[in-house]
Amino acid sequence: MLESAQEDLPPLLRGAPETTEFRKLRKRIIRETRTAIEQYGMARRGERWLVCLSGGKDSYTLLAALVELKWRGLLPVELLACNLDQGQPGFPATVLPEFLADHGIAHRIEYQDTYSIVTDKVPEGRTYCALCSRLRRGILYRVAREEGCTAVVLGHHRDDILETFFMNLFHGGRLATMPPRLINEEGDLYVHRPLAFVAEEDCARFARAMRFPIIPCDLCGSQDGLQRMQVKKLLDEWEARTPGRRQVMFRALTNARPSHLLDTELFDFAALAAPANADANNST
């Protein structure tokens, strides 16, 4: 499916390395993204997706994968890239608009100073992530409605999903994570995560090879000791001791057995029927 000729690539991927290693990486990312889209029923012909672009490695990889799938006729939706400029001091405001324009990507840049709100409202020593995420999500939902989009598309990858599962397990007391597809609380927009099967390291390798202009986060990315970073460190240690451990744990999230857990809302333990020969065995 993925030939090496540069003319067979969308403008966003022109100049991609032509090494065998990179072609294999690109092919894997495209395959896993397509699988997630199909397996979770994300795409419907004629829809319009708001593809959220932060300027990090994950969102660049997301955009590139979706653009290539659309280029090859495998994604029958319209794509609109969107960057939310949150007003962080020193944010390079021209980088993403120039990058998107240079590569012929339809886009919208939205400016909202959530940085001042977050730094004002969150006490010193506490993490910004929860409030920042709520504010950002609300703005993106509004933009999606204004642009006639049916879905907000995010760049969360396999490792984000796995880390969220363990954060909920360790700190939230529940078995839950980021689903690949959901409907927002208002019921009018989908939220998609097409990179659900893609490893973070693959996103990093892809972004480095493509030399995308990475923009670091000056909010949560500037804080040490976050719960997510602690979980990431733990998973890194497990992976170092047993390579492939992350993928095995992630596969478990797709293979849940309610009858082997303890949630009575998921499985009616009280209604379990006794074996047909139970009475006979008890009478002997």
Confidence of residue 275 (pLDDT cuts 50, 70, 90): confident
Integer Cα distance of 91 and 68 in angstroms: 28
Within a domain: 174:
yes
Neighbour-count burial for 89-124, b at 16+ CB within 10 Å, e otherwise? eebeeeebeebbeebebebeeeebebbeebeeebee
Instruction: Kindly report the three-state secondary structure assignment for every residue of 141-200.
Output: HHHHHHCCCCEEECCCCHHHHHHHHHHHHHHHCCCCCCCCEEECCCCCCEEECCCCCCCH
**Nearest to 165, CA basis, from 62, 256, 61:** 256
**Count of structural domains, the chain:** 1
Residue ranges making up the domain that contains 107: 6-283
pLDDT at residue 98 above 80?
Answer: yes
| Inside any domain, residue 1 | no
Q: Phi/psi zone of residue 90: left (φ > 0), alpha (ψ -120 to 50 degrees), beta?
A: left
Mean pLDDT value across residues 10-18: 90
On whether residue 221 sits in a domain, the answer given is yes
- Whether 180 maps to a domain, the answer reads yes
- Domain for residue 267, yes or no? yes
Residue 140 within any structural domain of the chain: yes
Per-residue model confidence as pLDDT tens digits over 29-56: 999 999 999 999 999 999 999 999 999 9
Residue 107 has pLDDT above 50, yes or no: yes
Torsion sign over Cα 35, 152, 254, 246: positive
Tokens for 42, please give them.
């994300």
Kindly state the average pLDDT of the residues 54-74: 96
What are the tens digits of pLDDT across the range 210-253?
999 998 865 554 444 478 888 999 999 999 999 999 999 999 99
Beta strands 190-192 and 181-183: pairing type?
Answer: antiparallel
Contact 66, 153 (CB under 8 A): yes
- Written as one letter, the residue type at 185 is E
Instruction: Say if residue 278's pLDDT is above 60.
Output: no
Give yes or no for residue 174 having a pLDDT over 80.
yes
pLDDT of 193: 98
CATH number at residue 24: 3.40.50.620
Q: List the beta bridge partners of residue 283.
A: none
99 within some domain: yes
pTM: 0.88
Closest to 56 measured CA to CA, from 164, 218, 172, 196: 218
- Residue range 123-157, pLDDT digits in tens: 766 666 777 778 889 999 999 999 999 999 999 99
